[in-house]
Chains A and B, each alone.
Chain A
Amino acid sequence: MTLEIIDLTIVFHSFTLGPLSLRIDEGIMVVLGPTGSGKTTLVNSIAGILSPDKGKIILDGLDITRIPIESRKVGYVFQDSALFPHLNVNQNILFGLSSREIQNEERIAMVRKIIGDLGIENLLHRRIDGLSGGELQKVSLAQMLVRKPKIILLDEPLSHLDPPTKDKLRIELRTILKKQRIPAIYVTHFEDDVLALADSVSILNYGRLEGTGDLEQILNSSQPSSSFLSHLTSGTNYITGKVVKSEEGLTSFEIGSHILYTLGEFPIGTKIGVVLRHEDIILSKEKIMTSARNILFVQVTDIVYKSNVVDIHLKINGLEIVSRITKLAMKDLDISINDNIYAIFKASAPHLVRKEN
């Protein structure tokens, strides 16, 4: 299934989106941009809520540019819940199915599976007004998934949630979308959403596409094509690895030939992505006895002075990370490029943003 947007232009009040072109074949594309950049306008045009002034939208080989909303087979989870208040959860989930589909045993089995995967079986007979923010979005997702859409559009569905709920739901969201194998476009202005969800990233700013590519490409880009793009990774290291051992609340995961430690328990073989702040990495010229579980012997590859701090770029075989220290600490350590030093951080420092089986 491919979604292709070709030279799309929409003039909406005093704002112009485009012309822009995008393509998504599979996975989750996160469209990142500040408020007012045109993210919602973009997904609304894909859904058919807004008609483009120019350009084409091709979905699975079919030009849907002028096709009515109800015929597009697109799923859409709004930022504000659009679950019907006069129906209960079960009725909301089944709303998009025809009476023939509801009587089809295979389809009903699929519906039950989706409900089970989302963990909302206990909500089925509840009214919508009694649900929490996270529950609302799960039910909205179920409502979309049971229709087997060709693509799912998500317009910042987690933005109203508190951080711990958001963190948990992001992981669940990615898991379920990957399991369903439905491509998705997730629009957001939170960089954390990119790290947690994206297979590919597109940056939108003032109605223009400033950059697009796979997540790894974007993160590893040494010359970001926009200032907004460079802001995406400033301040954090993004590390992915595979779990090799997990017990008593401590997990060791493998990156190349290295083993790192983080808190939490995961099944062996799980691929996890963690974010590690630059400030959380301590540097030492000598190996010291410490409670920290992560001690890496690294090489300094670059030293970048900023206004009040210094970013030390470090490398060890397949792993590249950045540590941030004060100018005074830099003076005390007296390190130079190509020096070998110890990079140390606690197991509690990495923050889990992604988890895949």
Chain B
Amino acid sequence: MYLQRSHFSGFNLTISILVGVLILYISYPLLGLAYLGGSINWVESLTRPETIHAFLLSLGTATISTLILSIFGIPLAYALARFHFRFKFLLRLVVILPLVLPPLASGTMLLGVFGPYSFLGRTIPLDYTQSVLGIIIAQTYVASPFIILPSQSAFEAIPDRYETMARVLGKRKSEVFIRVSLPLAKTGILVGLLMAWIRSIGELGATLMMAYNPHTISIQIFEDNAIGGIRNSVAGIVWVVILSIIALGVFLYLKRSRPIGLGW
């Protein structure tokens, strides 16, 4: 038996053209980067202390932000998926807000409530801005939907009967969450964590407002470009591209290993 090969058609041609245009558009800047590569001392560029420091700082703050979001965001996702209460739709709107707001707007609002002259700034005077804490506040805010929404979908994809069965088998709600809900939603949650982490690393707008210093990798790239153009910022870009490729590999691996029979 042979699979029938689809014959050449106008539809296929149109799809191919549209796909080709978008792929070219997305990969064109990377091609530009490769073109520039020939004229740069890569070793010196990639090992520049400011770039390394900014990259490692971003990795560290993104990891802390993601951890904080997992502690609070996963239970929130579960509540949105499983609990029924009035004004739930308002909660959903609030969760999506950081996703739709321009990052600079988010950063400005955060500065307003965490800045030195804000109520919190005066009441509990910590270094909320221009500090590592400020970076974490900004990253946590903008990356929150990236954990909550996929985790919520993952919990919603679990048929009720598994959790009900666990309770019939004598397990309390907390045990059901740990032994049934979390494992069955694992892949969706992990993908959400990965996306939140990557988003945190790449965050610029809100971080620019809350903590220009110390430099995250995005701010370092921004500053290097402002000073010396793209040639100056290419090293930071390459580090982030390498990280993105690794993250993509992890994402594809997680997608492949999703629980059988469930979504995601």
Given contacts A69-B167, A129-B261, 18 further A-B contacts (CB under 8 A): A69-B164, A70-B168, A70-B170, A70-B171, A72-B168, A76-B168, A82-B164, A82-B165, A84-B165, A84-B184, A85-B184, A85-B261, A86-B184, A86-B259, A95-B179, A96-B170, A96-B171, A127-B260
A75 at the B interface (CB under 8 A): yes
In the complex, the answer to whether B165 meets A78 with C-beta atoms within 8 Å is: yes
Cβ contact within 8 Å between A82 and B162: yes
Assuming A96-B170, A129-B261, is B165 touching A76 (CB within 8 A)?
yes
Say how far B72's CB is from chain A's closest CB, in angstroms: 25
Question: Would you give the shortest CB distance from B48 to chain A, in whole angstroms?
Answer: 46
Interface presence of B166 (CB below 8 A)? yes
Contact, CB under 8 Å: B169 / A143? yes
Is A95 touching B184 in the complex (CB atoms < 8 A)? no
Most chain B Cβ neighbours within 10 Å, of A73, A78, A95, A129: A95
Q: Once bound together, how far apart are the Cα atoms of A229 and B167, in whole Å?
A: 35
Q: Does B172 contact A (CB under 8 A)?
A: yes
Q: Are A69 and B161 in contact (CB under 8 A)?
A: no
Q: What 0/1 readout, one digit per residue, does chain A (13-53) give for beta carbons within 8 Å of chain B?
A: 00000000000000000000000000000000001010000
Q: Is the CB of B170 within 8 A of A147?
A: yes
The CA of A85 and the CA of B262, in the complex, are separated in Å by 9
B167:A84 contact, CB within 8 angstroms: no
The reply to whether the CB of B183 lies closer than 8 angstroms to some CB of chain A is yes
For A80, what are the chain B residues with a Cβ–Cβ distance below 8 Å? 161
Q: List 6 A-B contacts (CB under 8 A).
A: A69-B164, A75-B168, A78-B161, A78-B165, A96-B170, A129-B261
The reply on A139 being an interface residue by CB < 8 A is no
Residue-by-residue, is A114-144 near B (CB-CB < 8 Å gives 1, otherwise 0)? 0000000000000101000000000000010
Query: Could you list which residues of chain A lie within 8 angstroms of chain B, going by C-beta atoms?
Result: 47, 49, 68-76, 78, 80, 82-86, 95-96, 127, 129, 143, 147
**Chain A CB within 8 A of B180 CB:** yes
A102–B168 Cα gap in the complex (Å)?
18
C-alpha gap A47/B168 in the complex (Å) = 7
The contact string, 1 if C-beta is below 8 Å from chain A, for chain B 147-187, is: 00000000000000110111111111000000110011010
In the complex, per-residue mask of B226-264: 1 if CB is within 8 Å of any chain A CB, else 0: 000000000000000000000000000000000111100
CA distance A47 to B166 in the complex (A): 12
Q: When A and B form their complex, which 5 residue pairs have the shortest distance between CB atoms, in order from nearest?
A: A96-B169, A82-B165, A69-B167, A82-B161, A86-B183
Per DSSP, chain B at the interface is helix
Which residue of chain A lies nearest to B161 when distances are taken between CB atoms in the complex?
A82
Please name all residues of chain A whose beta carbon is closer than 8 Å to the beta carbon of B164 when the two chains form the complex: 49, 69, 82
Question: Which of B166, B186, B262 has most chain A Cβ within 10 Å?
Answer: B166
CB of B260 within 8 A of CB of A95, answer: no
The docked-state distance in angstroms from the alpha carbon of A147 to that of B186 is 28
Q: Which residue of B lies closest to A81 (CB)?
A: B161
**Smallest CB gap from B168: residue in A:** A76
Residue of A nearest to B179 (CB): A95
Q: Which of B161, B172, B183, B259 contacts A70 (CB 8 A)?
A: B172
Residues of the A chain whose Cβ atoms lie less than 8 Å from the Cβ of B180: 84
CB proximity of B226 to chain A, nearest CB, Å: 50
B158 CB to closest chain A CB, in angstroms? 10
Partner of A85, one of B166, B170, B260: B260
Q: Which of B164, B167, B170, B172 has the most CB of A within 10 A?
A: B170
Considering the complex, give the chain B residue whose CB is closest to the CB of A130: B260
Determine if B259 and A85 form an interchain contact, defined as CB atoms under 8 angstroms apart: yes
Within the assembled complex, what's the spacing in Å between the Cα atoms of A143 and B183?
19
Determine whether the beta carbon of B260 is less than 8 Å from that of A129: yes
A72 to B171, CA, bound (A): 11
B15 to chain A, nearest CB (A): 35
- CB-CB < 8 A to B183: which residues of A? 86
- List residues of chain B with CB within 8 A of the CB of A143: 169
A69 / chain B contacts, CB cutoff of 8 Å: 164, 167-168
- In the bound complex, CA of A168 to CA of B13 (Å): 57
Chain B residues with Cβ below 8 Å from A127 are 260
Select from chain A the residue with minimum beta-carbon distance to B176. A70
Question: Across the interface, which residues of A come within 8 angstroms of B169, CB to CB?
Answer: 70, 95-96, 143, 147
A3 to chain B, nearest CB (A): 16
* CA A147 to CA B165, docked complex, whole Å: 13
A47 to B165: give the CA distance in the assembly, Å. Answer: 10
CB distance from A169 to the nearest CB of B (A): 20
